[in-house]
Amino acid sequence: MHFTITRARDDDAERLCAIERVAVELFRGHEAWPSYSGMALPVDTVRELISRGLVWVAAVDEGVVGFVCLSPEGTDVIGVAEIDVLPAFGGRGIGAALLEHACTWAREAGYAEVTLGTLADVPWNAPFYAKHGFVVVDKHAPRFAEALARDRENGFPDHLRVFMSRPLVPLAEGDWTVWPAPAKLNLFLRIVGRRDDGYHDLQTVFRLLDWGDEVRLRVRADGVIARPTPVAGVPEDADLTVRAARLLAAETGTPLGAEIAVAKRIPLGGGLGGGSSDAASVLVGLNALWETGLDEDALAAMGARLGADVAVFVRGRSAWAEGVGERLTPMRLPRRWYVVVDPHEHVPTAALFAAPELTRTAPRATISSFVSGDTTENAFEPVVRARHPRVAAALDWLGGFGHARLTGSGGCVFMETRTHEAALGVASRCPGSFTAHVAAGVDPSPLLLARNRIGARDIVS
């Protein structure tokens, strides 16, 4: 039977939880049935994993019929949080394909091991996973203590509960690798002057998120740098990721090349730094894969030549920024969650900088004024409000729940919350004309975690 596997969309969460409720009926009459029937897969958990790009769905003509969720469990270990297929579509290889797809992605992302908890006596549980390279491991090992305690609280039959692990084959030369390209927010943005070179002096705080694009890289031995898939409206020579790779190659003299593919999730023209983040992920990723050995300072300086925001993504930490955004002071920011709303209106940055009504000589802010909450404005917001009605409408809607702000030069807007639940509550009310994402502020960024993970794994020649 023909089916396709794709990454889950933001609006898939409730559908996937419904599939889990149908699939769990297979356990009716089993010793574990009281536990399974008494709890459901939390839709908020699924939404969070979808937002982080860790859920894939299998679809046939009738629609989505199965899914798999992954959840990181450590530096180089990732777990199968849930995998389900509608019983009517069981026995057709869909579950096996979902599992292999997830394990392939985990390997390409640099993980060394995939783990899961399951039942020993059910054919589609432990025996199924054993066919796919999973082996039973000591469930009393410290790393499973929290999961085992949770299982016992939920009444799972302890004598049938097993934990299993599948070691992942090391990456080989020429394999695809996966690199996150996180989005950023500007928690405030001031323009404090104009430079002799025509650029503007800025002050801002960059906050890096756990949500964004995904960059895939594969090393070539022939020195060619290319995109295997064309990008509509973006010639290859103008693509910032291609330019980043070519700059790194030219500066280091490597004879190697690369293929580059980007799965876009960050809206274009949204002020979330998508293009800059993609370029930074190429620099960091290829520096590791090509073994060119540049340190973070050298890569950040190279990134600044490509774009003002690239350096903060290379360094992978939230920061106070000045100049054109290249002078960075790392900041320790409290754990917060963000509702990010995309009003689906592209805002051209050049037109905003040229706007006669833009305030270009604001007084300089201080880190203490930001920390105290006195500095939160964005210099572009009045201009964007006047020129882009959909962005203004998004600001007004989100402002009904708290302090709504523009990020960067727009057009996405955001609101900070203290809890994940509060952010999800606001996002769930988003009008159909907008799209809302929930993301956490993180330090270090997912890119740095991937660099450490993939860099630590030997690549087999």
Which H or E run contains 183? Answer: strand 176-194
Residues whose CB is less than 8 angstroms from the CB of residue 235 and which lie 6 or more positions away in sequence, other chains included: none
Q: Is the Cβ–Cβ distance between 405 and 414 less than 8 Å? A: yes
Residue whose C-alpha is closest to residue 437's, from 266, 304, 263: 266
Residue 219: CB atoms within 10 A of its CB come to: 20
Cα–Cα distance, 134 to 128 (Å, whole number): 9
Which H or E run contains 422? Answer: helix 420-427
Q: Where are the alpha helices (DSSP H) in 201-338?
A: 240-252, 274-289, 296-306, 310-315
Q: Is the Cβ–Cβ distance between 311 and 208 less than 8 Å? A: no
Out of 12, 151, 239, 309, pick the active-site residue.
309
Annotated catalytic, 139?
A: no
Out of 84, 151, 184, 213, pick the active-site residue.
184
Residue type for position 255? P
Look at strands 319-323 and 225-226 and give their pairing.
unpaired
Annotated catalytic, 175?
A: no
- Alpha-carbon distances, residue 37 vs 30, 52, 281, 366 (angstroms): 11, 28, 43, 55
Residue whose C-alpha is closest to residue 147's, from 131, 165, 171: 165
The string over 32-70, giving b where at least 16 C-beta atoms fall within 10 Å of a residue's C-beta and e elsewhere, is: beebbeeeebebbbbbbbbbbbbbbbbebeeebbbbbbb
Residue whose C-alpha is closest to residue 1's, from 81, 88, 69: 88
Q: Which residues are catalytic, by number?
A: 184, 309
